[in-house]
Structure 1
């Protein structure tokens, strides 16, 4: 896709990977719309030249409100990046309210937004849907069961959606980041982490080159090991 002149909607685009994707698309000549529940990061995004809309994507009404706010606007790129961990630790009770919120934000919200925006995307000369999942969608870890489940579900949906939209003008990309240095992973995940800027660069490159998947950073190695032995990969990752 020629990014210059296109309009992109990036959910979760005011921090972390989403903000870096938004910045890099803007630098390539795209008009970029981001959303967040909080006004403070929205104002910071506006100062960088991004269009920013307040939206709570953890509810169906919030997804509908965002679609209504952009009704009639041409959207060429829908980048479903917003997410939360929703994790619980060993021996801790499962917080059902937090679980429901994570399931909706991570899995249902991308489906709702695709449902809202797909008719318009199909009318564009060329368009793309990017669903940001995770390397943990391939093999889960014990420390993040809810997060892993939602990302695996979104991975499955993305693969089916790509097949269903074959032959149309809408290209579907799955982006699978490794552990990235963001607010969500700080204090929760130890070890080496990829920068949000580097992760975003690989996702933006996948958009520009019409890739089917963006296996980002160490996920390339994960995919290789999985192709050799899925069982070994699962045994390694569950302890991660």
Structure 2
């Protein structure tokens, strides 16, 4: 897809991968609107010239506020990038069920609700894309992050099924599967981290080339291991 003049809604676009992607999308000629919930980061992106719709996506009210904020505007690309990582490790302490509920909603329910609410906008365009950012952990889980892994694998399967439903239409459905990326979410993770700018670059490349799946960085190796032996891939990731 040629992004010049295209209208893009990018969730979670005030920090991390989303922030880097917002700048790269704008450099590619897109008209980019981002979402965010942290007042300081929202203000910083507005100072950079971006329109920001303030909305937290961990509940239905936040998703509805975003849809209302978008209104009847044209939409060519919906990028479901916002996500939450929640501690859920019984080996350390009893997990917070409310925090898990928030993460489940933000990572899985919100992308589904946004795709549903905004589908008519996308269907009215000459060409359009839905980009769901999942994770390498959607392929094989890490023991210390069961909620995150469950939501990302759920979004992966939703993406695969949605792509099949929309086959033959003007809407492309793209999945981006990042590895561990150097974001605030991964502070304290001892694994080697990919720079956010490089991860964003590879997501942008997938959009420009209409690729159905973008396995980014070490996710490529994990996908290869999974193709040889799903059990091997699980044994590798479950240690983390």
Number of the residue aligned with 2:146: 145
CA–CA distance in structure 2, aligned partners of residues 70 and 152 of structure 1: 28
Offset from partner CA, 1:195-239 (integer Å, 9 cap, x none): 010000000000000000010011111111111111111111100
TM-score (norm 2): 0.98
TM-score (norm 1): 0.98
Number of the residue aligned with 1:165: 166
Gap regions ≥5 residues in structure 2: none
Number of the residue aligned with 2:43: 43
Correspondence list, 1:115-134, <5 A: 115-134=116-135
Query: Could you tell me how far 1:148 is from its partner in structure 2?
Result: 0.3
Number of the residue aligned with 1:74: 74
SS in 2 for 1:62: helix
Q: Which runs of at least 4 in structure 1 moved beyond 4 Å after TM superposition?
A: none
Query: Could you tell me how far 1:40 is from its partner in structure 2?
Result: 1.4
Query: Could you tell me how far 1:56 is from its partner in structure 2?
Result: 1.4
CA–CA distance in structure 1, aligned partners of residues 35 and 47 of structure 2: 14
CA–CA distance in structure 2, aligned partners of residues 197 and 60 of structure 1: 31
Correspondence list, 1:68-217, <5 A: 68-89=68-89, 90-187=91-188, 189-217=189-217
Number of the residue aligned with 1:57: 57
Query: Could you tell me how far 1:191 is from its partner in structure 2?
Result: 2.2
CA–CA distance in structure 1, aligned partners of residues 31 and 92 of structure 2: 46
Gap regions ≥5 residues in structure 1: none
Offset from partner CA, 1:8-59 (integer Å, 9 cap, x none): 1110000000011111000011010011112211111112221111111111
How many matched pairs? 239
CA–CA distance in structure 2, aligned partners of residues 108 and 86 of structure 1: 16
CA–CA distance in structure 1, aligned partners of residues 101 and 71 of structure 2: 28
Tell me the C-alpha RMSD between the 2 structures: 0.8
CA–CA distance in structure 2, aligned partners of residues 49 and 213 of structure 1: 30
CA–CA distance in structure 2, aligned partners of residues 46 and 126 of structure 1: 28
